[in-house]
A and B are shown apart, each in its own frame.
Chain A
Amino acid sequence: MSNGTATRVAARNGALLPGASTRVPVAVVLAALLFGLGAFAPVHLASEFVLRIASGGLLLGMLALSVAFLMCQAGLVALGAASVYGGVGYLFAIAMSEWDLSPTSALLFAFVTVVLYSVALGALIVRTNPLAFMMLTLAAGEMINHGVMLEALRDYTSGADGLVVNFKGAILGMTAADLANATQFWPIAWSAAWLLGLAAYAVRRSRFGAILRAIRDNEERMRFSGFDTYLPRLVAFVFVNAIAAICGLLHVLNSGFVSPESLGLGVSTNALVAALIGGVAGSTGPIAGGVLFAFAQDQFGARGFTQLLTGVAMVVFIVALPRGVVGSLVEAARRNLLPKRGAR
């Protein structure tokens, strides 16, 4: 952004300030209404089957959010989101069954371990170029996948069979049965999607977000201007992995089962495609993309075409609709509803 644009933006913001001060509470009230409505209305209106698909979609959407955030803000595409998503579930299960941790401490243990893993992995790979980063995340994901299938770890991971996760006691007042119940799980998934979406929004709007985008656009310039270009990317990598880990924990709590499929490349590409369907730029896009993907998968998945359609969607959305569904709608709305701002 050139200096002239910056002044113009500042001037415009200044001019709009009196209006903005009344507009912001309206937006907040609307959002709160939408949040409340979304948390409770579907529970009464939708069938359990639809709720189950929708919460699955929200989980995929949150994973897509982690992929999209890194893609849009740092210009890095991660193809290994599933290894964190599934890996955290394995750790949670193993911590309870093998080391007798309570569910809450197992949850914390799994989360912290995965975050530490992503710090170590990120430290190695974020300094490479974006293409190498893409290849390396794919390789690291496959490494975790192979690791879980290792014969030597069969006692812990039970190989291709997967693990049943049936915890005793309660986490934040919810038992395993409560969490497996679609109507009780929906408000949790809905709130988590909002929280993570808002967190991503806050980070995007912060100074840190601006630095990340500047590094994405021209790393050399940022280095030359005296910025550290390594640490921000590492922090971003850890941040998105923390999102993926939360998402994976919600998944294992809900499904009560963790299998090698949840670690596989299939889940990573699904998340990527969900992000592309919704649009990678905001928080709403990827989450909505996840829900769209889940319902599309329900339509076509039974015939065994899910993977094929994943590939087709990936190509079509990148080539023809790079902003995704939500991004294109926002763009169209902006063009049609705010003609004056565009003309200025």
Chain B
Amino acid sequence: MSGDKGGGSAHDAAMRFQGSSQVVRPPCLWTTSVIAPLIANSLALASLLIMLSSGLALIYGLRDVINFGHGALYMLGAYLGYSIALVGGFWVALFFAPLLLALLGVVFEYGVLRPLRGRSHIEVALVTLGLGIILGQALIFIYGGEARGVDAPAALAGSVSLYNLSYPVYRIFLIAMGLGSCTALALWLRFSTSGLYVRAVSQDPSVARMMGVNSDRLSLLVTSLSAAFAGVAGVLAGPYLSVDPGMDVTMIVDCLIIVVIGGTGSIAGSIVAALLFGFVQVAGSVFLPDLAALAPYVLLFVVLLIAPRGIGRGRAPA
């Protein structure tokens, strides 16, 4: 993680919507030409956030640890995606970057989470924060401090017209990927045996272990899965946002807000919170551009005031 901040790249993306699309009118016009892109844009942003924050919630469910280095994994995914795309193109990057990240997730599980199992959760969280800083700084050291742009693949470049509104194809693809991964995750958790075990451990670790669930093996699966999701999100973010140092801090802060709003450890809660977050951020940048940067925090504190444990049914740490 780097200390410098570029003012929030997710926010920039939301702002970019104002420049790139011709449909923005004065905010008093509550017509479909304002509402439809608004919802589409918040879905596009939420797609990335869902992939990252559900990964955070999954690890938390198994290990009671919030991975503060998740932003750095996302950043690594983005830079790997950038490098691979230069050689083999976007689709190759979208396949290989998550694969490499999944391997890193295995290393993370064996090298960090397992040896530190006996330590307090706060200490492990701090270790992940430190590792995230190291990874982020190493990436800045390798790639330098300037932002990189990634082009969308030819098949997804350009815009489509729907009811005489034009909308970038890439964002539709992003939404499809977000909703797709969300559905896949839900199906896996709901209908597979390993998904059942994951839910059981998340609900009550000691009882699940007593029933013979091997939570170490599950944790390996979940950690690599969530790292792979971070990789997918990183590659997908390339053409949508920019690839820059500081993207890790922005993203981890956004994801932590979402995880808290969603109720720590609740996957459904974090998905709902990500949708809410995306909407608030995009709507904020359209209607109150001056104060948009603060919109997520207002949302966070309003939710905390009403429901201190978040909107989902999270589990208190053991």
Residue of B nearest to A322 (CB): B123
Residue from A128, A131, A142, A143 within 8 A of B66 (CB atoms): A131
B189 on the interface (CB 8 Å rule)? no
A11 on the interface (CB 8 Å rule)? no
Cross-chain pair count, CB within 8 angstroms = 134
Contact with B along A311-324 (1 / 0, CB 8 A): 11111001100100
Residue from B122, B293, B301 within 8 A of A134 (CB atoms): B122
B74 to chain A, nearest CB (A): 16
The answer to whether A136 and B260 touch (CB under 8 A), given A124-B305, A269-B133, is yes
Query: B122–A130 contact, CB under 8 A?
Result: yes
A268 to chain B, nearest CB (A): 9
The answer to whether A312 and B130 touch (CB under 8 A), given A146-B293, A150-B293, A307-B3, is yes
A64 to chain B, nearest CB (A): 14
| B contact residues, range | 35 or more
B180 on the interface (CB 8 Å rule)? no
B36 on the interface (CB 8 Å rule)? no
Interface residues of B in 19-40 (CB under 8 A from A): none
A28 on the interface (CB 8 Å rule)? no
Query: B127–A139 contact, CB under 8 A?
Result: no
B181 on the interface (CB 8 Å rule)? no
The CA-CA distance from A308 to B139 in the complex, in Å, is 11
The CA-CA distance from A67 to B226 in the complex, in Å, is 31
Residue of A nearest to B137 (CB): A308
B297 on the interface (CB 8 Å rule)? yes
The CA-CA distance from A36 to B273 in the complex, in Å, is 56
Stretch at the interface among A37-45, A239-247, A259-267, A325-333: A259-267
Contact with B along A198-242 (1 / 0, CB 8 A): 000000000000000000000000000000000000000000000
Query: A129–B122 contact, CB under 8 A?
Result: no
The residues of A that contact B126 with a CB separation of less than 8 Å are 77, 272, 276, 314, 318
B300 to chain A, nearest CB (A): 6
Query: A124–B132 contact, CB under 8 A?
Result: no
Contact with B along A108-151 (1 / 0, CB 8 A): 00000000000000001101111110111011101101110111
A and B contact pairs by CB, cutoff 8 A, 19 listed: A77-B122, A125-B304, A128-B308, A130-B121, A130-B122, A138-B256, A142-B297, A143-B294, A146-B8, A146-B297, A149-B7, A150-B294, A264-B4, A266-B3, A308-B137, A311-B132, A315-B131, A319-B127, A322-B123
Which residues from chain B sit less than 8 Å from chain A, CB to CB?
Answer: 1-5, 7-8, 60, 64, 66, 116, 119, 121-123, 125-127, 129-134, 136-138, 141, 249, 253, 256-257, 259-260, 264, 290-291, 293-294, 297, 300-301, 304-305, 308-309, 316-317
